[in-house]
Amino acid sequence: MCENCGLSLDRDHNAALNMLEAERRLILSQSEAVPVTNAASGVHGSFSHL
């Protein structure tokens, strides 16, 4: 339990949140470096779906 705000998370719930945040950061770091091509229209752009 957080002494500052009182938030209490189950260990598995907290681990899942940490994994989601790590994946989000990985996706964002890759999307900034590599432009994505839309095969249907040939349009180039950054993947910013999140």
Per-residue pLDDT of the chain (50 residues; tens, 9 = 90+): 788 888 887 889 889 999 999 999 998 888 766 555 555 555 444 444 44
* CA separation, residue 7 to residues 3, 21, 29, 38, 44 (Å): 8, 18, 29, 42, 43
Q: How high is the mean pLDDT of the chain?
A: 74
| Beta partners for residue 38, in sequence order | 43
Q: How high is the pLDDT of residue 1?
A: 75
Domain parsing of the chain, residue ranges: 11-45
pTM of the model: 0.48
